[in-house]
Amino acid sequence: MPFDFQRGLVKITELDDERVLSGQFWGELRGFLAVAKTRSFNRAAEILGSSQPTVSRQVKRLQDLLGFQLLTATSQGVVLTDEGRRLAASASDLDERLYALSGGIKACKGEIEGVVSVSVPDTIATAFIAPAIKRFSQRYPKIQLRLKPPLHHIDLRHNNSDLNIAIHPIGLDEWISRPLGTLHLVPMASREYIKEFGSPDDGDLQSHRFVMSALNAERSGVWDKWVNLCHKGTVVHHCDDPLAYTLLVMSSVGIGLLPNYLAVDSAVVPLDLGFDIAMPMHLAVLRERLKARHVQVVYDWVGPLLSEASPWLRREFRINAPRGDDDEFRRMLTRLPPKGAIAR
C-alpha cells in the first residue's frame, strides 16, 4: 500500500509528555499489558523474561504517571478497572501493529525472520509438526518456532500465541479461522494387555481396566461414550500428561483413548467398540498478527501439514494404518522411551 501524504501531520498527544515518553515507557506499557492478558504478575513476568517485583514496579510507575488506578490484585487474580480495560484494549491494538510493522521492516530488507509461537496439543505437535520442522528450517533458517500446549481451548487470547490449533472454529471478526483435518480418537490397548485380559467387547467390559485423563473424563456430550465405556469396567489410573498417558497404555496398564495414528505402532491395537471421537481442527490467528511476514509463512506451512491431505486426518474414520504413509510416525514412535521405562 503506498504511503498517503494527505493524512495529516504527526499526531501530538498527552503521551508526548517527556515524563511519560521516557526510555522505560514502552517496557512499562508492555508489562501492564502482559499482566492484563494473563491476570497474574507472576505469569506476566515469565512471559516477559522478567521478575514479579520488576513488573509490579512497572505497573505502579505507569499508574503514577497516568494518574489513575489500572488494576487491583485480588485472591482470584488481577482485576482491571474501567480505565485499565480501556488502556489494555488500546495497548493490545498497538502491540499487534508494532509486531506486524517489525515483520514488515524485516521483509523489506529481504529477510524473513522472527519467533512464531504456536499453541498446539502435544499429540499433534509430536506426530505432525516436530517431524516436519527440520525441512521447514532448511527453507526458513531465520524463523524460530515456539511450540507450547494451549492454556485455553475457548478464549484463545489467553494462550498468548501467534497461531492456535483449535478444536472450535472462531467466529469473531478479529480472528481468521482456517479449517484443518479431523483428529480421531479411538480406544486402544497394548498387545500384551490383550494377551493378559483378552480382547474387550461390549458384553465383558466389567473385567477390563481403563486409564482416563481430566480432558476426556467430563460428561460434556463429546466424551460421553468413552466415559460410559470406562464406568462399565474399572478406572485404574488418571493421567493428564499426553505422553505419559500414551506410555501407560503402551505399557499394558489399561485401555486408553488415543489418536488413530498411533496404530502405526505394532505394540498397540485399536479396539472396535462401536465408536470413535471425531474432532475437526482449525488454525486460528488474529488478523493483525497475520500481517507479519514470518507469521504468514508459518500459517501457510501449518495449514497443509494438518489438512485432510494427511490420511490420518481425513473426515472419514480410519482405524488401520495407511500403507506407505507411516514412515514419519514410525520414526517418531521409536524416539519414545521404551515400555520397560515405566514400572507396571
Strands 77-80, 71-74: parallel, antiparallel or unpaired by DSSP? antiparallel
What's the full length of the chain, in residues?
344
Tell me the CATH number at 178.
3.40.190.290
Residues 211 and 96 in one domain: no
In a domain, 102, yes or no: yes
Dihedral of the alpha carbons of 43, 47, 48, 50, in degrees to the nearest 10: 50
Tell whether 42 is covered by a domain.
yes
Domain boundary among 73, 108, 143: 108
Same structural domain for residues 127 and 214? yes
3-state SS, one letter per residue, for 122-179: HHHHHHHHHHHHHHHHHHCCCEEEEEECCCCCCCHHHHCCCEEEECCCCCCCCEEEEE
- 43 and 22 together in one domain: yes
Q: Is residue 232 part of a domain?
A: yes
Task: Tell me the CA distances in angstroms from 2 to 5, 15, 110, 131, 303, one per residue in order.
Answer: 9, 28, 19, 41, 30
Q: What is the CATH number of the domain that holds 102?
A: 1.10.10.10
Q: Which residues of the chain have pLDDT under 50?
A: 1-16, 18-22, 324-326, 332-344
Residue 150 lies in a domain: yes
| Interstrand relation of 163-166 and 175-190 (parallel, antiparallel or unpaired) | unpaired
Domain presence at residue 1: no
* 33, three cell numbers: 499489558
Shared-domain flag, residues 50 and 83: yes
8 in a structural domain: no
58 and 159 in one domain? no
Note whether 130 and 75 are same-domain residues.
no
Same domain, 311 and 236: yes
The per-residue pLDDT for 236 is 94
Q: Are residues 211 and 98 in the same domain?
A: no
For residues 138 and 252, membership in a common domain is answered with yes
Domain boundary among 64, 83, 108: 108
In a domain, 329, yes or no: yes
Place of cell 478464549: 155
- Looking at the fold, whether 329 and 258 belong to one and the same domain comes out as yes
What's the domain count of the chain?
2
Among candidate residues 87, 108, 129, the one where a domain is terminated? 108
Owning domain of residue 57: 14-108
Q: Chain centroid to CA 311: how far?
A: 22
Question: Do residues 91 and 117 both lie within one domain?
Answer: no
pLDDT digits (tens, 9 = 90+) for 123-160: 899 889 998 999 999 999 999 999 988 876 666 677 77
Task: Determine the pLDDT at residue 212.
Answer: 93
Which residue bears the cell 512497572?
58
Does 20 map to a domain?
A: yes
Claim to verify: residue 191 and residue 136 sit in the same structural domain = yes
